[in-house]
Amino acid sequence: MSSPATIAAHFDLGAPVDSIRPQAGGHINSSYVVTTTGGARRFLLQRVNTTVFTRPEVVMDNLVAVTDHLSGHLAGSTDQERRALRLVRTRNGDDWLRDAADGQPWRCFEFIENSICLLEPRDANDAREAAVACGRFLTHMAGYDGPRLAESLPRFHDTPHRFEQLASALERATDERRASAADAIEFALARRAGAGSITSALAAGVLPERIAHNDAKISNVLFDDATRRGLCVIDLDTVMPTSSLFDFGDLVRSMASGRPEDETDLDAIDVGREVFVALVDGFLDGFGATIEPLERALLVEGARIMTLQQGVRFLADHLAGDVYFRVEREGQNLDRARAQLRLVERIEGRRRELEAIVAAR
């Protein structure tokens, strides 16, 4: 691997590099903040993880299409340079770079100044702002008319397929892991029959396909550090044609309970009404002018399905021996699975109430 300094020199930064430091956070790609001389400008240099993204050229083609579309869409608007990620081209005019030493893909963004990244919402307002940013992204991308984006991670949000993966993990699991997870397995499998509600509506063409973010959580939204308003979504590697419901669903899954993803006190898990209202409000604020009636009608089902799907993914990974989601302790993926599944149970139990909240907006 070439050094980040060697890589940075290939990009068109407008001035010589002064300093480079690693940027913490992000479990998948490696990032560096590059400052040019005089501290004039900053950039985010990133190496794409090719273990997860085995076809980086697909990821990069999508990224170029999306960022170009967004900057065209935002041209002339206030604070435009902080409203979307923008790529910096190489000195040769290429969109990204393959390291001559090892072929690894690198890209460079303009650094978004005076912004912060939140790992969790402090209050309902933070949740609302994250939902606005995700909703707005869907609206902006609804006007995209370039070449069809490819699937950077095929069948990523194909819920029935996630159940197939669970079934094969079950067959291969050790007796010990299977026994330890018996409650979660039973709960999940009881929901297999209805798991295709969103995927089949999409395939049948009754639910519109949308260019969605597909990893819609608060840590993928940048906030203005002074106003704490949402600025833009980041981490665009999973942007591909799926459903808006997966983004709304992920917002609910990741924020509605106010508890950590691996919460072990399952009785503490429920849908916080204030946060849920804020998520619906914010999402519709950003996407309400574009959303179709069926999408609106399925918002709560989207939350249920995304939470179920993530529970199934964590459970399958626990059974498979923690090969995908990194764990910090034994049994963490099972805890994550149980926490998701408990939230599914709560969403199901309060479905009418949650649907009434959506209907009232």
Q: Which residues bind Mg ion (CB under 5 A)?
A: 215, 235
Out of 24, 25, 27, 175, the residue judged to bind ligand GN1 by CB under 6 A: 27
Q: Which is nearer to ligand GN1, 28 or 40 (CB)?
A: 28
Q: Which is nearer to ligand GN1, 28 or 101 (CB)?
A: 28
Q: Which is nearer to ligand GN1, 13 or 218 (CB)?
A: 218
Task: Report 292-351 residues binding ligand GN1 (CB under 6 A).
Answer: 310
* Sheet of strand 221-224: strand arrangement: 115-117, 221-224, 230-233
Q: Residues binding ligand GN1: what is the number (CB under 6 A)?
A: 7
- The distance of closest approach from Cβ of residue 213 to Mg ion in the complex, given in angstroms and rounded to an integer, is 9
Query: Comparing C-alpha atoms, which of 253, 276, 258 is closest to residue 268?
Result: 258
Task: Decide if 336 contacts 262 (C-beta within 8 A).
Answer: yes
- The distance of closest approach from Cβ of residue 255 to Mg ion in the complex, given in angstroms and rounded to an integer, is 15
Out of 151, 261, 345, 355, the residue judged to bind ligand GN1 by CB under 6 A: 261
Task: Report 220-239 residues binding ligand GN1 (CB under 6 A).
Answer: 238
| Euclidean distance between CA atoms 7 and 105, whole angstroms | 10
- Pick one of Mg ion, ligand GN1, none as the site partner of residue 27 (Cβ within 5 to 8 A by kind): ligand GN1
Which residues have C-beta within 8 Å of that of residue 336, sequence separation ≥ 6? 261, 262, 311, 314, 325
Which residues have C-beta within 8 Å of that of residue 85, sequence separation ≥ 6? 67, 70, 109, 110, 112, 232, 234, 236
Out of 15, 28, 203, 356, the residue judged to bind ligand GN1 by CB under 6 A: 28
Return the ∠ at Cα 52 (arms to 174 and 107), rounded to 5°: 165
Q: Using the structure block, give the residue that is written with the tokens 């940075």.
A: 8
**What is the contact surface with ligand GN1 in residues (CB under 6 A)?**
27-28, 52, 215, 238, 261, 310
